[in-house]
Amino acid sequence: MSSFRGRDVLSIRDFTPADIQLVLRTARKMVPVAVGEKRSRSLEGKILSTLFYEPSTRTRLSFESAMARLGGRALGFSSAEGTSVQKGETLADTIRMVEAYSDAIVLRHPQEGAARLAAEFTEKPVINAGDGAGQHPTQTLLDLYTIWDEKGAFEGQNVTLVGDLKYGRTVHSLAYALAELGAHLTFVSPPTLEMPPEILERVKEKGLSFRAAHRLEEVIREADVLYVTRIQKERFPDAQEYEKVAGSYRIDMEILRDAKRGLIIMHPLPRVTEIAPDVDRTKHAVYFKQAFNAVPVRMALLDLILGEGA
């Protein structure tokens, strides 16, 4: 029996490199089922609750698709409206109730730490599908899967994270996990949106060096993976300043002239103007594939946590 059976997925930091490798290998085996070429009934009779206190269509649908592909069923809600939450029920009480209806709980909640709280009130496994500005471990796993699937390894890869590195929660978890897995990290951001010191501290604890830059042109030549995130307008005091900063981190054909041939470009989506549309047609663009990878990776997690073979 693997260590995954019945386990909570709250933060990527709960995963050892060996755990991550197991999820990635399992995800690869799931691809034929995820695209409908093969059938699986490994979670037949199992029920997954998807409790989404704030909307996240992509995350919710990929979990429900993953469960259905494995022969299981999903039930839940996609916003707090019309639920007992509006009557003032605590999250703890909702979790105690839902525990009786399902075999595992996927939780998306606007407040940080919600998934950890939920896990304290149920014996059933809780999967964190995003808690406010906190953790979103399954997003990190699908990002890792995409890099591993495209590049074959993490060690020695130069992964360059670009954009809002201060507030973007996906890049914090990803930086931490990549440091664990031995990738070289480069951080590119405006001075006001740099990676927080506590994340840098954790990367350093892993004994890894990293590079920080403000200009993408300085580092694009070395990059094997470019992970682009959105710079949000509301982070800037005025619109003009935002336009200037956001424009300097836009990925277009011109900046890619200096890039390695094998460079892959990732983005958690939805994108706005960070990547020019003509980049979509290049071999560098893997962001739509990355979005698809959500299904096999979440299938792998569900199967490892709930499956009989786990």
**Which of the residues are catalytic?**
58-59, 87, 108, 136
Question: Taking the chain, what is the end-to-end CA distance rounded to the nearest angstrom?
Answer: 6
Half-sphere exposure of 241 (CA within 13 A, CB side): 10
**Binding stretches for other proteins (CB under 8 A):** 11, 90-92, 109-114, 116-117, 120, 131-135, 198
Q: Contact at 8 Å (CB) between 88 and 65?
A: no
**Rounded least distance, CB 132 to other proteins, Å:** 5
- For residue 52, the surrounding DSSP H or E stretch is strand 47-52
Q: How far is the CB of 120 from other proteins (least distance, A)?
A: 7
Q: Which two tokens stand for residue 1?
A: 């029996």
Closer Cβ to other proteins, 133 or 153, answer by number: 133
Residue pair 306/72 in contact (Cβ under 8 Å)? The answer is yes
Minimal distance, residue 197 CB to other proteins, in Å? 10
* Token representation of residue 129: 């599908």
Q: How far is the CB of 116 from other proteins (least distance, A)?
A: 5
Sequence-separated contacts (24+) of 115-120 with Cβ below 8 Å: 115/8, 115/10, 116/10, 117/91, 117/92, 118/91, 118/92, 119/8, 119/10, 120/92
Q: Which of 143, 78, 93, 133 is nearest to 111 (CA)?
A: 133
- Cβ of residue 117: shortest distance to other proteins, in angstroms? 5
At 220 the three-state DSSP class reads helix
Q: At which residue do the structure tokens 């996240």 appear?
A: 56
Is there a contact between 213 and 145 (Cβ–Cβ < 8 Å)?
A: no
**Distance set, CA 94 to CA 49, 99, 122, 172, 246 (Å):** 11, 9, 10, 29, 41
Residue 91 or 294: the one with the smaller Cβ distance to other proteins is: 91
Q: Which is nearer to other proteins, 113 or 182 (CB)?
A: 113
Contact predicate 53/85, CB 8 Å: yes
C-alpha 138 chain-centroid distance: 5
Instruction: Choose between 32 and 196: whose C-beta lies nearer to other proteins.
Output: 196
Smaller CB separation from other proteins, 134 or 307: 134
* Closer CB to other proteins, 115 or 181, in the complex: 115
CB of 167 to other proteins, least distance (A): 12
